[in-house]
Amino acid sequence: MSFKEVLQMPGVPAVLFTQFMVAFGFGIILPILPFYVTSLGAQPFELGLLTSTFALMGLIFNPVFGKWSDRVGRKKVMLVGIAGFFLSYLVFAVSDSLWMTFLARAIEGIAAGAVFPSAISLLSDLTTEKQRGRAMGLFSMMFSMGFMLGPAVGGLAAAISVQTAFLVAVGLTLVNFASVYLQLKEPHEKAESRNLQAQEVTLLQRLRSPLLFLFVSAFMITFMIGGIDATLALYTADKMGFSSAEVGLVFAYIGLMIFVMQFVSGGLVNRFGELKLIRIGLLLSGAGFFLLQFSTDWPHLLLALTVFVAGNALVFPSVTSLLTKKVTARRGAVLGLAGSFNSLGQILGPLIAGILYTLHPIWAFWGQAAVIWAYFIVFSLVAVPTLSKPAATP
């Protein structure tokens, strides 16, 4: 089953375009948000809190919209989410106080909670089992492409004015809404896409399971990414004198590296195994944070970011792959629980990084590296012997 055949399935292009537009719109505001909120009087800790607000709203509303989409349909929930993104960017564009940026960020997080689960469910309903692997691969690629192009466009638009960048996002969201409304028909719901409430896996069950280490590994991925999102723009502006356009190019480079690593990591998992790649990935991610403190020019900065992204790109598919191997039943619910750990990482990572950056900029990178390397030691000594056993979770 080729990518071309998947793209010819009715409704699939509209869903993939939505994923691209969400990442693109998110990417547009990423390089300018730190400059914008600091001009309104925000401190690094408040910037971290602002970044965490997005993840917190997503964590709260993701299951709400997931259940609602079962009742009213995926397309309607997706349209509500796209409309939420439109509203959030509009509030950003007219914000003249810090509380308005928090409001906009909260709306954006709620909108993401509506779009992402409905998009994944729609792809499941619109494709066959043989097509689904390709469809999910395209889904990830669209996010990477949007995240790669969005920051570059946002940085350039901000050179005109910050409001211009937000208004560009507003306009593109309208295009996205029209494409979904006109091109997507509500598909017949498949049994595998229905609400998994009857198969829920409780956190208490999994805290007593060896899978806890995989959930914590999922947490560490977004913990690290959240730390970068909250501090990188501030650091490059303070220490290297970067403008919003240059910060946009930095995040565009990160998106490009993520896109490239998607084609490499899958083969590495098959060749070397998940446990080895998780350990290597943790070491590299910590090294990336450690190297960032020495970044005083473009070559050193890009080297540090390449090491960091490579580490994350090894950990993420390895954790997901090992979870699917260790769990033979209720797999969807377990992966959903891993998603909750991801959200927790997105909440705590920016908060902790923002606090450390407020105390001293270098502490943010030292602190993140120390946490990652400490977890590497625990994972190597405790998790690897346990997870190496060929046991399936009933």
Percent of the chain with pLDDT over 70: 84
**Based on the domain organization, do 247 and 183 belong to the same domain?**
no
Q: Side-chain half-sphere of 99: how many Cα atoms within 13 Å?
A: 0
Q: Kind and range of the H or E element at 216?
A: helix 212-240
Is 293 within 8 Å of 365 (Cβ atoms)?
yes
Confidence of residue 11 (pLDDT cuts 50, 70, 90): confident
Q: Which residue has the tokens 């891993």?
A: 338
Structure tokens at 164: 């211009």
Both 58 and 141 in one domain: the answer is yes
222 and 336 co-located in one domain: yes
3-state secondary structure 73-134: CHHHHHHHHHHHHHHHHHHHHHCCCHHHHHHHHHHHHHHHHHHHHHHHHHHHHHCCHHHHHH
Distance of CA 320 to the CA centre of its chain: 14
Q: Is the pLDDT of residue 198 over 60?
A: no
pLDDT in tens, 266-282: 677 778 888 899 999 99
283 burial level (CB within 10 Å; 0-12, 13-18, 19+): middle
Same domain, 170 and 229: no
Residue 89, domain CATH:
1.20.1250.20
Question: Among the three residues 187, 212, 247, which one is the final residue of a domain in this structure?
Answer: 187
Provide the mean pLDDT of the chain: 81
Residue 194 lies in a domain: no
127 & 250 share domain: no
The per-residue DSSP string of 295-325 comes to: --SHHHHHHHHHHHHHHHHHHHHHHHHHHHH
DSSP codes joined into one string, 24-55: HHHHHHTTTHHHHHHHTT--HHHHHHHHHHHH
Q: Which of 78-87, 213-222, 333-342 has the lowest mean pLDDT?
A: 333-342
Q: Do 30 and 131 sit in the same domain of this protein? A: yes
pLDDT of 208 above 60: no
Both 178 and 240 in a single domain?
A: no
Task: Find the domain containing 271 and state its range.
Answer: 201-386
Contact 22, 145 (CB under 8 A): no
pLDDT number for residue 178: 92
DSSP 8: T
pLDDT for 284: 94
Q: Are residues 229 and 371 in the same domain?
A: yes
Helix (H, G, I), strand (E, B) or coil at 327: strand
Which of these three, 162, 187, 212, is where a domain ends?
187
- Indicate whether 200 pLDDT > 50: no
Residue 391 belongs to a domain: no
Span 188-217, average pLDDT: 57
**Could you tell me the two tokens for 308?**
């960091």
pLDDT at 65: 82
Residues 76-90: tens digit of each pLDDT? 888 999 999 999 999
Q: What is the mean pLDDT of residues 68-77?
A: 82
- Give the bridge partners for 327, in sequence order: 393
Asked if residue 262 is part of any domain, the answer here is: yes
Whether residue 134 is predicted with pLDDT greater than 70 in this model: the reply is no
Band of residue 104 on the pLDDT scale cut at 50, 70, 90: very high
User: What is the C-alpha separation between 29 and 108, in angstroms, rounded?
Assistant: 11
pLDDT at residue 142 tops 50 = yes
Confidence class of residue 20 from pLDDT cuts 50, 70 and 90? confident
pLDDT of 105 strictly over 70: yes
**Helix, strand and coil percent figures for the chain, each rounded to 5:** 85, 0, 15
Q: Are residues 156 and 210 in the same domain?
A: no
Let me know if residue 393 belongs to a domain.
no
- pTM score: 0.76
More confident residue, 167 or 131: 167
Q: Which of 187, 219, 247 is the last residue of a domain?
A: 187
Per the model's pLDDT, the better-predicted residue between 202 and 327 turns out to be: 327
Lowest mean pLDDT of 58-62, 135-139, 233-237, name the range.
135-139
CA distance 348 to 225: 11
The reply to whether 392 falls in a domain is no
Q: Please report whether residue 110 resides in a domain.
A: yes
More confident of the two residues 131 and 154: 154
Q: Are residues 163 and 236 in the same domain?
A: no
Asked whether the predicted pLDDT for residue 210 surpasses 80, the reply is no
Number of domains in the chain: 2
Residue 224 has pLDDT above 80, yes or no: yes
Q: Which of 127-141, 320-334, 371-385 has the highest mean pLDDT?
A: 371-385
162 and 259 housed in the same domain: no
Q: Please report the pLDDT score of residue 44 as a whole number.
A: 82
In Å, how far are 9, 12, 13, 126, 141 from 17, measured between CA atoms? 14, 9, 6, 15, 11
Verify that 249 and 217 share a domain, yes or no. yes
**Does residue 201 or residue 311 have the better pLDDT?**
311
Q: Is 253 inside any structural domain?
A: yes
Helices 162-183 and 12-29 sit at what angle, rounded to 10 degrees?
170
188 alpha carbon, distance to own chain's centre: 29
Could you tell me if residue 195 is inside a domain? no
